[in-house]
Amino acid sequence: MDSDLSSQDRKDLDKFIKFFALKTVQIIVQARLGEKISTCSSSSPTGSDWFNLAIKDIPEVTHEAKKALAGQLPGIGRSMCVEISLKTSEGDSMELETWCLEMNEKCDKDIKVSYTVYNRLSLLLKSLLAITRVTPAYKLSRKQGHDYVILYRIYFGDVQLTGLGEGFQSVRVGVVGTPIGTITLSCAYRTNLALMSSRQFERTGPIMGIIIDHFVERPFTNMAHMHPCSYRTPGEDEGGTYAGIEDSQEVCTTSFSTSPPSQMVVPGKEGGVPQVPAQPNHGTAAEHGRIPSFPNGQSPLPAQPTSCSSEVKTVFCDALETTFTRKVGAFVNKATTQVTTTSLDLPFAAFAPRANDLEVNDPMVHPPPSPAPSSPLQGSLHSNSSSHSGGQPQDDFVMVDFKPAFSKDDLLPMDLGTFYREFQNPPQLASLSIDVSAQSMAEDLDSLPEKLAIYEKNIDEFDAFVDTLQ
């Protein structure tokens, strides 16, 4: 019943609730940026600091909050929620906490709006400042950077807590009674950080005996790095249209990590750091081909012999076995002609460094740039022994020319070497690269306006085509 509330009071109350909601979002998001927050007190009031608290307004965050509210106010049955989640560099994400601003029907008719409610809302914001530093996500957000980033999402409506896993805890920040209902601010946070333990987060935790230096200058303290609602790699422009506000997949980046080049994902691929092979098996043949294009020439690569390549190697082994027994094989060291493939796991293993650094010079992994079709092979067949006897790569990385032991250049135009090279470097199937990562989806989204423009231009053609179908 609003009959007791004057229209001025009602207007004031609505304004308070609106700005309270916006400031709540600012406090929560700023507390998850990963840096220490500091604002100055000012004894002379400027008139623009709501609730007498110096809380900066990050424009993107205000924009997102206003977008989520869409002109409405948090009210009974209409809660405003800020969801904080974590996203790893490999693309896994996990909800950490959900802050809820709710209103229930319990009204406090006698309370003075312009004074008591205002001051209590101010007190609640101070409590929020304190509590945001206490939940587990705070420590995680302070350590974000290369391995993971913290994202936020604002939504309006029903509170969704299912993403927090089992056994999530709840903390109530506070309540403020108003003539139109009681405002409650609370936080539900995840306690089961199972995803964390299976990844490499242990090393971001405190190391025994070493005091964590909280004062290490963070590399990304500039707030301009924050990106609203973006799936893109850092540095790209915003723009383009976003999915609807209620889209549960939409998250807003609060900060991001520009991974060092060695971890940079090859465009279009997920899982750049090849700890876990993220590619489906039929893509790995191509993966092998692309690996040398990593900027740092990563070596050693982890054990990635997939079924494809090991099959080929097996074939080669058989072929070489015959080679070795009949004559000196192309890569056999003169001093050790007794070496047979039965004792080798891989072909050319005699040339492998004694350390298990096989991939460094394994020509299967690092296929040489395709040579001219015949002459190198021809030349190499005759000069093999001399060129390679002394060149057994032990510690140095030596690019070994790929010369199949028994192939001759004057036979089929398509010799084994060429076949093998082509097999090694097939182009990536276009259909496979579409939804491998969210990044390429973002690129697709980017190109949509251009595509639409092209389609519009050719609309007559499309119409004609449709007519032919009918």
Interacting residue ranges for another protein, rule: CB under 8 A: 36-46, 49, 52-54, 115, 120, 123-124, 126-127, 129-131, 133-135, 138-139, 142, 171-175, 206, 208-209, 211-212, 214-215
Least CB distance from residue 129 to another protein, whole Å? 5
Q: What angle do CA 349, 350, 351 make, to 5 degrees?
A: 85
Least CB distance from residue 260 to another protein, whole Å? 26
Is 39 or 394 the residue whose CB approaches another protein more closely? 39
Least CB distance from residue 134 to another protein, whole Å? 4
Is 45 or 390 the residue whose CB approaches another protein more closely? 45
Is 40 or 430 the residue whose CB approaches another protein more closely? 40
Residue 192's CB: how many other CB atoms inside 10 A?
A: 13
Instruction: Identify the DSSP state of 246.
Output: T
Residue 89's CB: how many other CB atoms inside 10 A?
A: 21
Is 37 or 412 the residue whose CB approaches another protein more closely? 37
Is 54 or 412 the residue whose CB approaches another protein more closely? 54
Is 212 or 454 the residue whose CB approaches another protein more closely? 212
Least CB distance from residue 154 to another protein, whole Å? 22
Least CB distance from residue 66 to another protein, whole Å? 23
Least CB distance from residue 448 to another protein, whole Å? 42
CB 23 within 8 A of CB 51: yes
Helix pair angle (7-30, 59-69), 10° resolution: 130
Cβ neighbours of residue 261 closer than 8 Å, sequence gap 6 or more: 295, 296
Is 130 or 224 the residue whose CB approaches another protein more closely? 130
Question: Locate tokens 């915003």: which residue?
Answer: 238
Is 43 or 468 the residue whose CB approaches another protein more closely? 43
> Quick one: how far is CA 272 from the chain centroid?
10
Best CA proximity match to 89, nearest among 11, 204, 212: 204
Identity (one letter) of the amino acid at 250? Answer: E
SS3 (DSSP) at 313: helix
The radius of gyration of the chain's CA atoms, rounded to the nearest angstrom, is 31
Q: What is the four-CA torsion angle of 81, 444, 280, 430, rounded to 10 degrees?
A: 170
Least CB distance from residue 214 to another protein, whole Å? 4
Least CB distance from residue 142 to another protein, whole Å? 8
Least CB distance from residue 233 to another protein, whole Å? 30
Is 45 or 167 the residue whose CB approaches another protein more closely? 45
Long-range (24+ apart) CB contacts under 8 A made by 232-240 are 232/439, 232/442, 232/443, 233/439, 234/258, 236/442, 239/446, 240/445, 240/446, 240/448, 240/449
CB 332 within 8 A of CB 387: no
CA–CA distance, 272 with 304 (Å, rounded to integer):
13
